[in-house]
Structure 1
Amino acid sequence: MEKTIDESKQGTSLVLDTKTKNSRKLYIESYGCAMNFADSEVVASILSEDGFSTTQELNEADLVLVNTCSIRDKAEQTIRKRLTEYNKVKKTRPHLKVGVLGCMAERLKDKLLDEEKIVDMVVGPDAYKDLPNLIKEVDSGRDAVNVILSKDETYGDISPVRLNTNGVTAFVSITRGCDNMCTFCVVPFTRGRERSRDPQSILEEVNELWANGFKEITLLGQNVDSYLWYGGGLKKDFEKASDMQKATAVDFSDLLEKVALAQPKMRIRFSTSNPQDMTLDVIRTMAKYKNICNHIHLPVQSGSNRILKAMNRLHTIEEYFELIDNIRKIIPNCAISQDIIAGFPTETEEDHQDTLRALNYVKYDFGYMYMYSERPGTMAGRKMEDDVPDATKKRRLSEIIALQRSHCKIRTEAHLGTVQEVLIEGPSKKSPHEWMGRNEQSTVVVFPKEQYQVGDFVNVQMNSCTSATLIGKAVGYSENN
């Protein structure tokens, strides 16, 4: 649940420039969070070197790969339907091979390969470098599987191609896996234990993106605040590191500073943060560097201490509020967004009211809110009865969404009358005559196109708004342009 899902991107097929020497066609679809979309770029890069060009036409594909998500049941059901559709295409293209990548692949490998026989290949999140070998197995008529979780794979040596990009914003993965073991989350079981990527390889990727015209990056991880590089290996083994390794270790605040200094005109964002791991050093680093955007995605999940404990969230709501207070004190104009789960097992009406009280305390700028759905393999799925009726979950979720929407309006209206820097990301969805971009708080801004172009930093006068979108007029280029 900590991974933000962009519904508008679900099932997007990805394409990159064709290499003339590549004779085979890859159709790759991605579901889930930003981590999955970033992984698809790594996969496309690996297969581009193995003779594949991407296509957005399923009927001309030689290989279909689906990068999957196990966070919500809805995602799994959608992917199963898509796999059925891919297999229908095999009737006209019998040489077509179908593979499943990512979290769902690791969890359901036996069902997908042996029981349902709807795929030829299953590849876990740490095995993408093995794809050329697995494809050879499939080409020779054998099923292929590699879902081994690695202790050190970070894909730091792969330069990801940028798929279907606007050429302005990009994701840069800094960690893989997670150690937190929240009881509702399947990630530690599908992506393995947490390990961090060499900071030098991160800086090289950031510098390359800037050289290629990108203006904003998001440092990405299941829990970016846990980033810790001490020469390689799992974070949990840091206590065994040498004195020299400990003295020269790089934590997330150090990395954030290095990236900000490397490209002072590039906007820096990061996601996702975990309250128990976010330190004031990170907040102070954000305050110190103008190019680090003032927005923190800080999932609360519940306002009830009893439910937080059942979720294995290693903080109380009072500690969470203290962190919020410190953020507001150090960065008064920092936007804060949330994830909330409605209807977690055993949640009572009083627990739900605690969540509404938490919303009222923080008044988040925006959020991602879901009904609890049991995920097989998680601690909650194994040990807890999903005992909150669907009707109750839906009602509680609707109350959470309504309250969050009112807070969105308050936070958005607070920008009115100001002039703010906006990075143009592309045309507005509602009008071809307007640009869409975001301010540093990640609020969407639309304004007339005039002479400006995608990738420009523009100062915009904020004149009106909807509950979540600012409407303004450009008053000139910003000093960052």
Structure 2
Amino acid sequence: MEKIIDEHKQGETLVTEHKNENGRKLFIESYGCQMNFSDSEIVASILAKEGFNTTQQLEEADLVLVNTCSIRDKAEQTVRKRLEKYNSVKRINPGMKVGVLGCMAERLKSKFLDEEKIVDLVVGPDAYKDLPNLIAEVDEGRNAVNVILSKEETYGDISPVRLQSNGVTAFVSITRGCDNMCTFCVVPFTRGRERSRDPQSILEEVQELWDKGFKEVTLLGQNVDSYLWYGGGLKKDFKNASEMQKATSVDFAKLLDMVAIAQPKMRIRFSTSNPQDMHESVLHAIAKHRNICSYIHLPVQSGSTRILKEMNRQHTREEYMALIDKVREIIPDCAISQDMITGFPTETEEDHQDTLSLMEYVKYDFGFMFAYSERPGTLAARKMEDDIPEDVKKHRLNEIINMQQKHSKYRTEQFLGKTVEVLIEKESKRSNKHWAGRNSQNTMTVFPKGDYKVGDFVMVKINECTSATLIGEAVGYSDNN
């Protein structure tokens, strides 16, 4: 998955429902992509059964866990600063144990435990079910580590506790790991090979969310388009499946269809897509069901075919543009967002101009744009010199960001005078007299509260816009309530 990192959520602490019978306190903080936040919910669910309630007071915690990210150097530096903070608190509260979860854990296990001695516990992304045993080891005074990557683990049998942020939207994990060896990405090494979760367990989790009052789910995976269930096992082994397994297999288009039909009132989103794996059948599934949102996050990383090849992306510029054309043809109102890396090794000014011209062609609704930073353990770090000067990276990134802001404004302006369906998620950040929620195209929309409440689907007439937000007035409930 081209990891979408929401800067507003970094370092968010998880809060779960208090259980009176639980006597120990867990402080869990998450960094990185949405997959990590989803994993923290799984961890909290496992530890709730082990006698832990969550706390937001670091000083009173018995166990402090940080769920980490290796995708960018900034994320690693932030986590290191947090570990220093935890250890300063630990000097006051020596009974407190500190653990590292997730992608950094897998990559830096010996450094954290043996060399720097800054943590008691190191747990990789596939080992969360082993937490009770690992915590027992730590309670006995021993350091504990499990970073073994699994070929089977999907956590399909764990019902995650939910971030009690709004009770309206939730994430449902459908795949783990990744088989795409993009040269800039550490995910295949930190999260292992790709495997899909049993569709029945996904449907059950979505049903459970609906029963609890949730109105929207996002199906989550490193690469959702390559979802493939044929009774269990790795995607790469599908070629060895029996004829019956192949005939009854479920791909991503079928899964979307199943979830949409099972929950016709539930709004469905998904993230993240990979251009090489997105089939036309997925686009038809979106077009067929009103409750599947008209929004696709379709990372491209570069507009240059030469750079795409250097990145080991399995598509060309022309193939990506053809896919965009297909999206526009089948889902005319679909919003598309991007991930873009500028300053990848050997990138020339001509390559950069290819990126800008691709952006002009697509006119993305919004995007996630970064200057390349070398990640240890990746093929690019091992084989390529990070040879683009920082000032050139910065200049190119600014050009990309400026173009994206222009396109974002163009896209929001298309909604002026139109009426859109909005799911109310929360109070507006700027005014306690306004609600905020997203339309089908994932654009944040604000409007006066009236008598509406969080969780309502409301029709909103758009009167104004910025490059990121639609501003309007409610004209009534949607028929989706």
TM-score w.r.t. the length of structure 1 is 1.00
- Describe how 1:11-30 pairs up with structure 2 within 5 A: 11-30=11-30
* SS at 1:268 equivalent: strand
Paired position in structure 2 for 1:264: 264
Whole-angstrom distance in 2 between the partners of 1:17 and 1:291: 30
Partner of 1:276, secondary structure, is: coil
Q: Does 1:295 align with 2:284?
A: no
- Establish whether residue 109 from structure 1 lines up as the match of residue 82 from structure 2: no
1:232 aligns with 2:258: no
Unaligned runs of 5+ in 2: none
Task: Tell me the equivalent position of 2:78.
Answer: 78
Partner of 1:447: 447
Q: Secondary structure at the match of 1:164?
A: coil
The 2-side partners of 1:140 and 1:207 are apart by 40
Q: Which amino acid aligns with 2:430?
A: K
User: How far off is 1:165 after superposition?
Assistant: 2.6
Counterpart for residue 378 of structure 1:
378
Aligned amino acid, residue 361 of structure 2: Y
Q: Could you list the runs of 4 or more consecutive aligned residues of structure 1 that deviate by over 2 angstroms after TM superposition?
A: none
Q: How far, CA to CA, are the matches of 1:59 and 1:144 in structure 2?
A: 22
Per the alignment, residue 428 of structure 2 pairs with 428
Separation of aligned partners in 2, 1:17 and 1:207: 20
Please report how far the alpha carbon of residue 144 of structure 1 lies from its aligned counterpart in structure 2 after TM superposition: 0.3
- In 2, the alpha carbon distance for the partners of 1:317 and 1:458 equals 39
Aligned to 1:40: 40
Match of 1:166 in 2: 166
Tell me the equivalent position of 1:181: 181
- The code of the aligned residue for 1:183 comes to T
The residue that corresponds to 2:195 in the other structure is 195
Deviations 1:286-342 (A, max 9, x none): 000000000000001000000000000000010000000000001110000000001
Q: What are the residue-to-residue correspondences of 1:408-423 with 2, within 5 Å?
A: 408-423=408-423
Shift of 1:11: 0.2
Show CA shifts across 1:179-201 (max 9, x none): 00000000000000000000000
Partner of 1:255: 255
AA aligned to 2:300 is V
1:392 Cα offset (Å): 0.5
Could you tell me the TM-score, scaled by structure 2's length? 1.00
Give 5+ residue unaligned stretches, structure 1. Answer: none
Partner of 1:341: 341
Answer yes or no: is 1:326 the counterpart of 2:326: yes
**Once the 2 structures are TM-superposed, how far is the Cα of residue 437 of structure 1 from its aligned partner?**
0.5
CA RMSD of aligned residues (A): 0.6
1:395-406 equivalences under 5 Å are 395-406=395-406
User: How far, CA to CA, are the matches of 1:466 and 1:297 in structure 2?
Assistant: 21
Give, in angstroms, the shift of residue 92 of structure 1: 1.2
Shift of 1:474: 0.2
Deviations 1:229-265 (A, max 9, x none): 0000100010111111011000000000000001001
Offset of residue 20 of structure 1: 1.0
Aligned partners of 2:253, 2:457: CA distance in 1, in Å? 26
Letter in 1 for 2:362: V
* Sequence identity (%): 75
SS at match of 2:8: helix
Structure 2 match to 1:352: 352
User: Could you give the per-residue CA deviations for residues 381-402 of structure 1, whole angstroms, max 9, x where no partner exists?
Assistant: 1100000011000000000000
Aligned counterparts of 1:91 and 1:404: Cα–Cα separation in 2: 47
How many angstroms apart in 2 are the aligned matches of 1:390 and 1:14?
A: 36
Size of the aligned set, in residue pairs, is 481
1:273 lines up with 2:273 in the alignment:
yes
Tell me the SS of whatever aligns to 1:110: helix
Residue in structure 2 matched with residue 210 of structure 1 by the alignment: 210
Mapped partners of 1:468, 1:165: distance in 2: 22
Q: How far is 1:91 from its partner?
A: 1.2
Q: How far apart in 1 are the matches of 2:468 and 2:83?
A: 36
| TM superposition shift of 1:467 | 1.2
Alpha-carbon distance in structure 1 between the residues aligned to 2:230 and 2:210:
26
State the shift of 1:164 in Å.
Answer: 3.0
Amino acid at match of 2:364: Y
Equivalent residue letter for 2:273: S
